[in-house]
Chains A and B, each alone.
Chain A
Amino acid sequence: MATTDTEILAVTGNEAVAEAMGQIDPDVVCAYPITPQTEVVQLYAQMVADGKVSSEFVTVESEHSAMSAVIGSAAGGARTMTATSSQGFALMWEVLFIAASYRLPIVMTTVNRALSGPINIHCDHSDTMGGRDTGWIQLYGENHQEAYDNCIQAVRIAEHMDVRTPTMQMYDGYVISGAIGPLQMLTKEQVQAFIGPYHATNPMLDTKNPVTVGPFDGLHGWYFEHKVSQNRAMDRALTVIQDVADEYAEISGRQYGLLDPYCLDDAEVAIVVVGSTAGTTRVAVDKLRAQGVKAGMVRVRAFRPFPHEAYAKALEHVKVVGVMDRADSFGAQGGPVFLEVRAALYDSDPRPQILPFIYGLGGRDIFPDNIEQAFAVLQKAAQSKKRTSTERRYLNLRED
């Protein structure tokens, strides 16, 4: 595969990310290389075997062990990466918090797929939405290109001295991960220059300056203060994510932000959506705009930290906002993105109505028709004098 910056390649989403990892060429990659993994680490293992990268590739016996090995490697002082998906992510659960609390700048790709049961291997966002409080930075990509671009930017974000927090970058399982789409790559030299050399802080392998990592904090220790410092790093990450995106735009010509607005300036109705469905939503917005409907969209990119002020600013002039979640929070007022967006707009005056939509669980397809149906609900609410019920609306749910 050639690596000029102009050539367009036809690749799967997983191939795009494996190529990004190959160009990053981290010191260590630890992974559990069988299902529920993705092709990403399989492709990476091939690069290691072919001598195309210099990474130490550590295969382990489970995803819990994969994350544990990644933590050990990163604490030792190595630039470390891994990839996972679905149940594998779920099995990493308890150690995800430890990676974040040790402030290890690990980068992990997570291909978004459903959680069992019933057993289901298809796309939804239940896996990482469930991990939103682990203390990791979360970036959600839309397509092949962004999966590649986010993987590279994640290194700089995680390793930034104002942040030093592990970062996971996501894209939709199968819809992107297994589909063929276009990709423009940077050269390996450009990527290396962008990420720069890795400087570990307090590495355990620096035997002249011994440190302890992960000791018992004691009953009257600093656990509470430690958690507050994690949250402050998250606040600072908002600036860093944007700065890194701006710098990346200079070498790639592709500009990213904390969120990705579309046709919002004069919008009366708008949808907030995560992942590949944003593309399908833009198609629906274009169609409605052609019919004279003032429709708009926001695609979520950074979900942790959640840039609530930016959402308030982007959406406060909109009459009705529909939030489409591809994961549910059972018993809550709506899905995770809905709750976040609704809270972000609470202080706005006038305050838009915010309605929850659930779609695509377990890989249920989402067509432009379905998104137009959601917009129809928003338009009706915008014209109504009464506030519209915030019951969940399900898109493309079977009723037979």
Chain B
Amino acid sequence: MATKTGTKQKPAAGLTEIRWHARGGQGAVTAAKMVAELALGQNKYFQAFPEYGPERSGAPIVAFTRVSDEPIQIYAGIEHPQIVVVLDPSLLGIVDVTKGAPADAIVLVNSEMSPAELRRHYHLEGFHYYTIAATRIAVETIKRAIPNTPMVGALTRITGLFPIDEVVTFLRADFGKKFPPKVVEGNINAITRSYEEVQAE
């Protein structure tokens, strides 16, 4: 006998589930972990993990973040994300990024297009789309085409999970331990610019 997954699970109150879609090398796992650490700074519970597979640069990958007011006990991939973050728009034609997402889910896409243009271009229906030119912002601020921190800036604006000032403070402290000041400031610029420039429908 075999059983399969099927019925819908409602997330618990106070629980935010985020699913990240990216290509290997775009820093999605780092971003998923960064959001977990930001949650810690807000005295919330957190969990972040990638869907493990061979690490191949450019291959589609998935990562997950849970943020909650209560301790998180569930240890499974996120099937019904309230928020979907797409770090590479080319995935829209390849991967079903909104699979299992409820009708009111937020979908944040790294794209130069407005949400309306994105919908037309990729024939997207339903959900609430947001866009941010994260790769361009990354190139202009961090000098590298790694869109992860700009995506966190845009996510901060859309979700209101964390105040932007706290994100900046966290980055200065956390990145300050690992990177030279130029890199830290570049990432802070990337986050604050994306916070301002994210486009809603």
Contact = CB atoms under 8 A, between A and B. Distances in A.
Interface stretch (A99-107, A177-185, A245-253, A308-316): A177-185
A365 B36 contact: no
Nearest to A372: B7
A141 to B, nearest CB: 12
Contacts of B3: 370, 373-374, 377, 393-397
Interface string A1-21: 000000011100000000000
A182 B40 contact: yes
Interface residues of B, number: 28
B9 A180 contact: no
A363 interface: yes
A10 B37 contact: yes
Interface string B31-56: 01100110010000111111010000
B47 A396 contact: no
Chief secondary structure at chain A's binding surface: mixed
A363 B49 CA distance: 14
Contact of A181 (B4, B7, B47, B77): B47
A280 B1 contact: no
Given A172-B75, A280-B76, A394-B3, A122 B40 contact: no
A174 interface: yes
A372 B32 CA distance: 28
Interface in A369-392: 369-370, 372-374, 377, 391-392
29 contacts: A9-B40, A172-B75, A174-B49, A174-B52, A175-B75, A178-B52, A179-B75, A180-B36, A180-B48, A180-B49, A181-B47, A182-B46, A276-B75, A277-B75, A280-B73, A280-B74, A283-B73, A363-B52, A368-B9, A368-B74, A369-B5, A370-B3, A370-B5, A393-B1, A393-B3, A394-B2, A395-B3, A396-B4, A397-B2
Interface of A: 8-10, 121-122, 143, 172, 174-176, 178-182, 276-277, 279-280, 282-283, 363, 365-370, 372-374, 377, 391-397, 399
